[in-house]
Amino acid sequence: MNEFLADLNYWVTIFLLVGGLYIITAHGNMVKKLVGLAIFQSSVYLLFISPGKILGGTAPIIAPGFDVYSNPLPHVLILTAIVVGVATIALGLAIVVRIHEAYGTIEDDEVHDLEAD
């Protein structure tokens, strides 16, 4: 049972990653694609943070009375990743706004049709 729960962590991560990938590839709406990208990114956060957890440990803030701390390194890397992710999404949304002005739509297929005409 314990082993199953340990792997469940990774499986949820994988489901989120695949779900994000599916939204990015299958859906044509660009805002939805960006939400999918955000989900994809945050599944990677989970993938990094969950191996750093140590059972019985506590948050890596040194305090008397605690000896076991979780691994602080992934936390640092993911803090950077979150902020970079938001920067990516902000840039993507700016591009979506420009596309909406140029073509009057935010659907992949419709932009394609307008280009073909």
Partner 1 sequence: MVVTVIGIIRAHNLFAVVMLGGIYSFLMATVLVVLDAVDVAMTEAAVGAGMSTVLLLAVLHLTRTREAPLRHAPVIPLLICLLTGGALVYGTLDLPPFGQPDNPQNLHVAPYYLENSIEETKSPNVVTAVLASYRGFDTLGEVAVIFSAGIGVLILLSRRRRREMVVEDEGRSRK
**Residue 114 CB, nearest approach to partner 1 (Å):** 14
Q: Does 114 bind partner 1 (CB under 8 A)?
A: no
Residue 28 amino acid letter = G
**Residue 66 CB, nearest approach to partner 1 (Å):** 11
* Residue 107 dihedral angles phi and psi, to the nearest 5°: -100, 135
Q: Does 36 bind partner 1 (CB under 8 A)?
A: yes
> Which of 87, 104, 92 minimizes the C-alpha distance to 34?
92
Q: How many angstroms separate the CA atoms of 78 and 46, rounded?
A: 9
Q: Does 15 bind partner 1 (CB under 8 A)?
A: yes
Site for partner 1 in 46-85 (CB under 8 A): 46, 49-55, 57-63, 68-80, 82-85
**Residue 38 CB, nearest approach to partner 1 (Å):** 6
Query: How many residues does the structure list for the chain?
Result: 117
Q: Does 103 bind partner 1 (CB under 8 A)?
A: no
Dihedral sign for Cα atoms in the order 51, 52, 53, 54: positive
**Residue 2 CB, nearest approach to partner 1 (Å):** 9
